[in-house]
Structure 1
Amino acid sequence: MPSQKLDQSQELSERARKAIPGGINSYARKFDRELNWDSGSGSRITDVDGNEYVDYLQAWGAIILGHCDEEINAAVTEAESQHDLYGYGTTELEVDVAERIQHHVPSAEKVLFGVTGSEVTAHATRLARGVTDRRKIIKFQGHYHGWYDSLAMNHLTEPEKLGTNDPDTAGLLDEIVDETIVLPFNDEDAIRETFAEHGDEIAGVILEPIAHNMGCIPPRPGYLETLREVTDDYGSLLIFDEIITGFRHDLGGAQKLEGVTPDLTTMGKSVANGYPISILCGKEEYMNQLSPAGGPVAFGGTYNAHAGSLAAARETMTELDERNFHEEAKAYRDRICDALEDILEDNGITATVEKYGTVFLTYFMEDTPHEYTDVLEQNEELYMDYRWGMVDEGIMMVPKNVRRNYITAAHDDEDARRTIEAAQDVLSELSQ
């Protein structure tokens, strides 16, 4: 049972359900317990009943500097005092942000802006089909790429459906689902065998270079290099979905850290510290096949390159550099993870603490997972009891299975102390 008083949250949820389907505007926001929010500041969020939480959900990774960051909000206010939308041509702000992304991201020879992550992954796969004149797309079990029909399948698949195409939603046409090939992540043999059989049909391969939608699973050594080699050999496009990893672990994305350059990249979430923006970038020869450059593959959107979001993105890049965010966040991460490992060992709990860049996660299982079937070995009941226990202690580690924790520039020593103390209390109780 929750230790917090949640009367106002329940009342607001009842009101919301009368106006909004389910009372929420995204299925990702649905939980077994109703919590609704009054405010956010830095690393903390406060619910409508006045309970405060150290936040590691951070809007599913969209916040990287902290909630309601003063510098970001000031930059947005200044930009929107001069610009909103014109519907014709471009602005200096658009060009400046694109040039900065070109500078940081290895694959970004050309850059286009969207609004949501799903739309740019949709554009990337459509572009791959358009330039190759092929139909099939490879994705990986446990990876998530949004709502686009060719990709909305095989995220958190039930064990009995493994090995099949498992749509995440009703309403997908069989003809589209059948053109997607789902493979296990980190399996070089599977990718080579599939290309040997279907190579002349495969338009592209899309993946999370760090599989954060399974928690925190990096590629095995040499795996991304194999994908690069095989797609080159068969003339398919390699697409990195860096909606989560873009800016989060490095301004150059996971591709910079891992040393493998894809043909196309999608980015979003933390790019603008919570303001709505997404990015499609990639090699010039492919990006010039999109309609803004006169190519045959359509790309458009009324709200693309909105001044407020672009100002937030430009200021986010500036602040990440000036605050030395990535190095300081890793030091904070290590402090938390080292403490969690000690607490788990002291309490005799079988678990593994995994981390990459500014993300960490505790799996309640013996071995480090490398692909989706490994994740199924997790003790989900213990995981959920731990996560809800942390919420009860005022630590918002999202209580859904295999979800990652995000560190921001606003997390500080007091947050670390509170997190470690809460984990000590919760894990000690669970070990009894």
Structure 2
Amino acid sequence: MSNQQPHAESAALIERAKRVTPGGINSTSRTQMMEDRQGNPVCFEEASGAELVDRSGNRYVDYNNGWGPIILGHCDPDVNEAVAQATAKRDIVGMSTSELEVRAAELVAERVPSADKVQFGTTGSEVVAHAIRTARAVTGREKIIKFQGNYHGWYDPVALNYISEPENLGQHDLITTGMLPEATEETIVLPYNDLAAVEAAFEEHGDDIAGVILEPVAHDMGCVPPVDGYLQGLRDVTDDHGALLIFDEIITGFRHGMGGVQEREGVEPDLTTMAKAVANGYPVSLLCGKDEYMRQFGPGARGGSVYFAGTYNAHTGGMAAVVETITQLEERNVHERFEEVRTTLTDAIRDHLADAGVEGFVQEYGGVFATYFGEGPVTKYRDLLDLDDEKFTEYRWEMIDRGILMVSKFPRANLLNASLTDEQVQETIDAAGEAIRAVSE
């Protein structure tokens, strides 16, 4: 039974928005939580710590966290104060560099194993575009390998084969219209966690493959960690064939540790893209990597031939957010807290599944977890097709009705927020027990 108040205020706002904005929203992905289970629009008015409040006053414990950027907590006072102080002194100049952006780059380079050099951008998609362009520039090759179920943003060569219908597997499945067919001709799509498929592709196309890009933990298709030896195998095969290995750590960077998945798994890529959690909600992305590849961005006589530009790159506010986010992640021992909270939650959910006699399982990694219904584990995209996506969605709606915001779109995972209190964790555990019993009836 829903504990939520009706959403008349949100419905009125969406109707107003539709008059000036296509569909009433500014990002296609926001349709995934724009309505309640009765189809009524939901808009959020406040965000603080680990809690959201919608326009009708309903409160939610947030496990979406802006699709990943919020790691310390919504409207974190330390980060907001650092940004306010920095932008009161300097906003945007558009020339040269600043002490703050140098410090931000130093902090990233000191923590991310593969980061000899760092370039800041604004969005995840743009740094993915620069990473792929660099791989092609330094190798003189054109083909790129990506993996089914991995998402890398709107850049045309990788804007395909994300959440695909079963009949579209094994072929190019574009996520948008308006793309030239030539944009994806040189993209090879393979199953995630299948090293043999990668080795076979290199046997066939090795002299033409510029690079391999992947989410080292596949969070855009839920919570799918790499199988043992997979990341090292990719490192070995790309080394053997002179191709670049690119880790898309836009979700995983800082969320699973200060050095990202590459530090946890002990495998260093050539280039790494990061965004989301690096600035606790401020619009910052970065590309980092080995000096021999990053020097391609040096302008004119100082470096290489790859163009990297953006009016808002290394904006003062964003750089202040990066520096303060790194500081607070370490001072608050956030990743240790994540391991503790995640284990408490997932152990309890497993107990609820067993007590209710429901066939289900939980997958987890660092600060992320997901509950699935069916037989696990999930190691590749095709495994998702055997799960009960309707029960997954129903369970998520039951949680939302109880004030626990777990996005109802299959197969999305839940992301932890360092501001979660013990009381909110217990509230989540209690709601999960009720929701699992509800979907078992």
With normalisation by structure 2, the TM-score equals 0.97
Q: Deviations over 1:3-61 (max 9, x none)?
A: 42211111111111111101011011103432101100000000011000000000001
What runs of 5+ residues in structure 2 fail to find an aligned partner? none
Distance 1:430 1:139 in 2: 36
Aligned to 1:29: 30
3-state SS in 2 of match to 1:203: strand
3-state SS in 1 of match to 2:309: coil
Aligned to 1:124: 131
Match runs of 1:96-111 below 5 Å = 96-111=103-118
Give yes or no for the alignment of 1:371 onto 2:372: no
Match runs of 1:163-174 below 5 Å = 163-174=170-181
Give yes or no for the alignment of 1:426 onto 2:427: no
Aligned to 1:158: 165
Pairing partner for 1:290 from 297, 306, 310: 297
3-state SS in 2 of match to 1:363: strand
Pairing partner for 1:341 from 333, 342, 350: 350
Q: Deviations over 1:302-346 (max 9, x none)?
A: 000001011011000000100010011110111111110000111
3-state SS in 2 of match to 1:150: helix
Structure 2 counterpart of 1:424, which letter? G
Q: Deviations over 1:135-166 (max 9, x none)?
A: 10000000000000001000001100110011
Aligned to 1:253: 260
Aligned to 2:419: 410
3-state SS in 1 of match to 2:251: coil
Distance 1:231 1:172 in 2: 28
Give yes or no for the alignment of 1:328 onto 2:337: yes
Range moving further from structure 2, 30-39 or 141-150: 30-39
Aligned to 1:18: 19
Match runs of 1:387-402 below 5 Å = 387-402=396-411
Range moving further from structure 2, 60-69 or 289-298: 289-298
3-state SS in 1 of match to 2:273: strand
Give yes or no for the alignment of 1:85 onto 2:95: no
Distance 2:297 2:207 in 1: 23
Structure 1 counterpart of 2:262, which letter? Q
Distance 1:213 1:280 in 2: 19
CA RMSD of aligned residues (A): 1.0
Distance 2:67 2:379 in 1: 22
- 2:3–2:403 contact (8 Å) kept in structure 1: no
Aligned to 1:46: 53
Match runs of 1:300-311 below 5 Å = 300-311=309-320
Pairing partner for 1:134 from 129, 141, 145: 141
3-state SS in 2 of match to 1:288: helix
Structure 1 position 220, deviation (Å) = 0.7
Structure 1 counterpart of 2:243, which letter? S
Percent sequence identity over aligned pairs: 54
Pairing partner for 2:284 from 277, 288, 309: 277
Range moving further from structure 2, 286-295 or 202-211: 286-295
Structure 2 counterpart of 1:14, which letter? E
Aligned to 1:187: 194
Structure 1 position 294, deviation (Å) = 3.0
Structure 2 counterpart of 1:150, which letter? P
